[in-house]
Amino acid sequence: MYDVNEIRADFPILSRKVNGQPLTYLDNGASAQKPQVVIDAVTRAYAEEYANVHRGLHYLSNLATEKYEGVRGIIARFLGVSDEEQIVLNSGTTEGINLIAYGWAMPRFEAGDEVILSVMEHHANIVPWHFLRERQGAVLKWVDVDSTGALDPQAVIDAITPRTKLIALTHMSNVLGTKVDVKTICEAARAKGVPVLVDGSQAAVHMPVNVEELGCDFYAITGHKLYGPSGSGAIFIHKDRMDEMQPFIGGGDMIREVTKDEVIYNDPPMKFEAGTPGIVQTIGLGVALDYMMGIGMPAIAAHEDALRDYARMKLDGLNWLQVQGTTPDKGAIFSFTLDGAAHAHDISTILDKKGVAVRAGQHCTGPLMEYLGLGATCRASFGMYNTTEEVDRLVEALELAHELFA
């Protein structure tokens, strides 16, 4: 455990007021705030170290390239990947999963081939597979969660058939907080020759992740939730899968040679990184991950587990509020509805008046909302800098909303 006030002091935005109230930022599931080291790194990169990467022979281009390329190794370390050539840099999870859909899946899916998804996937891990359904006749097979929001790994394994070409699952639900036992699923899937893609957008923020121990083929992360800049991210691609992939976006940087008649691609991972990348965003992401590793992922997870338990205890005391997702070992993410007709947007507006920032809506999880029979929820999602006092402020604001709408 760490002193949360020391962590908070690293995040300048946390000391500002909103609507005359201290900011209680509980929208980390959507995007996290940035520590001063990241803000400074971004400023320095533009003020002193900026040029395009990979193509220049001049000092600044070499410096920017060195800083940018250095992040590949930081991400590899963060994800427990021994060979950084298996890390493809990109703008975030959405791009990462689309790369796999276009570059790996489209060339090998035939009509009737199946991709297994859980019902709690984010649209970023649904829509690319709908592309495959629309264009190539792929079949989307859905595995439900139980009434606590847990996903039984055996149910996923049982859904595998000879037509299954891919399993694509979140590692942690952005709505329910459910953690998925990816390791068990990967073991069984590997035995049946089925690759597994893991959406690590939430999990990698809140708990230690070792991709090699998990045994997955693809693992996507997104920088802006990892206390880094938006427009940064990466996807781990196992080298065997990388060898099977075709490039997705064509342009500069991903080629070695282009003539009128042919194109010779760069070696992976650059083969899958076309055009000028998010240079400064990626540099900022490297600093953010170093910052997180400096604190220690086990310490971050322990802090957030304690917050989760406190928040659960306080929210359970509100008998007019229903939390979605009640598995004991979940992430500190609470989606809820209130008795009565109050819409999630109205509740979040009241909370905002009290300086409490939460998200309201479908959270990009249409199939899950349909499964839960809900139009929308409010979601309070915690990060490494949140405190039990902030849980209390959330509860006070919720009590006010309840009084107003009861």
The CA distance from 203 to 330, in Å, is 10
Give rounded-to-5 percent helix, strand, coil for the chain: 45, 15, 40
| Cα of 105 vs its chain's centroid, Å | 21
Least distance (Å) from ligand PLP to the CB of residue 111? 27
Which residue in 26, 88, 92, 119 binds ligand PLP (CB under 6 A)?
Answer: 92
Helices (H), 90-216: 93-99, 127-136, 153-158, 182-191, 203-206, 211-214
State yes or no: residue 217 binds ligand PLP (CB under 6 A). no
Is-contact 124 94, C-beta < 8 A?
yes
State yes or no: residue 202 binds ligand PLP (CB under 6 A). yes
Q: Which is nearer to ligand PLP, 24 or 174 (CB)?
A: 174
Region from 70-78, 92-100, 301-309, 340-348 binding ligand PLP, contact rule CB under 6 A: 92-100
- Of 186, 216, 364, 378, which one is the catalytic site residue? 364
Name the 3-class secondary structure at 375. coil
State yes or no: residue 118 binds ligand PLP (CB under 6 A). no
Q: Which is nearer to ligand PLP, 64 or 285 (CB)?
A: 285
The CA distance from 344 to 358, in Å, is 10
| Contact pattern for ligand PLP over residues 174 through 193, marking x by CB under 6 A | x-------------------
The CA distance from 237 to 239, in Å, is 6
Q: Which is nearer to ligand PLP, 224 or 271 (CB)?
A: 224
Helices (H), 207-278: 211-214, 239-244
Residue 73, CB-side half-sphere exposure with 13 Å CA sphere: 5
Gyration radius from the chain CA atoms:
22
Residue linked to tokens 């309201």: 360
Q: Which is nearer to ligand PLP, 220 or 338 (CB)?
A: 220
Q: Which is nearer to ligand PLP, 330 or 402 (CB)?
A: 330
State yes or no: residue 386 binds ligand PLP (CB under 6 A). no
State yes or no: residue 27 binds ligand PLP (CB under 6 A). no
Residues 124-153 that bind ligand PLP (CB under 6 A): 124-125
State yes or no: residue 122 binds ligand PLP (CB under 6 A). yes
* Dihedral pair phi/psi, residue 336, rounded to 5°: -150, 160
Which residue in 27, 49, 113, 199 binds ligand PLP (CB under 6 A)?
Answer: 199
Region from 66-74, 90-98, 160-168, 239-247 binding ligand PLP, contact rule CB under 6 A: 90-98
User: Is 364 among the catalytic positions?
Assistant: yes
Is-contact 335 378, C-beta < 8 A?
yes
Which residue in 24, 222, 281, 282 binds ligand PLP (CB under 6 A)?
Answer: 222
The CA distance from 50 to 102, in Å, is 32
Residue linked to tokens 């990184």: 273
The CA distance from 23 to 356, in Å, is 6
Residue linked to tokens 């342009």: 251
Q: Which is nearer to ligand PLP, 95 or 114 (CB)?
A: 95
Least distance (Å) from ligand PLP to the CB of residue 67? 22
Region from 34-42, 197-205, 299-307, 317-325 binding ligand PLP, contact rule CB under 6 A: 197-205
Is-contact 171 331, C-beta < 8 A?
no
Say how many C-beta atoms besides its own lie within 10 A of residue 106's C-beta.
Answer: 17
Which residue in 24, 86, 93, 164 binds ligand PLP (CB under 6 A)?
Answer: 93
State yes or no: residue 381 binds ligand PLP (CB under 6 A). no
Catalytic positions, please?
A: 364
- Sites of contact with ligand PLP (CB under 6 A): 92-94, 122, 124-125, 170, 174, 199, 201-202, 222, 224, 364
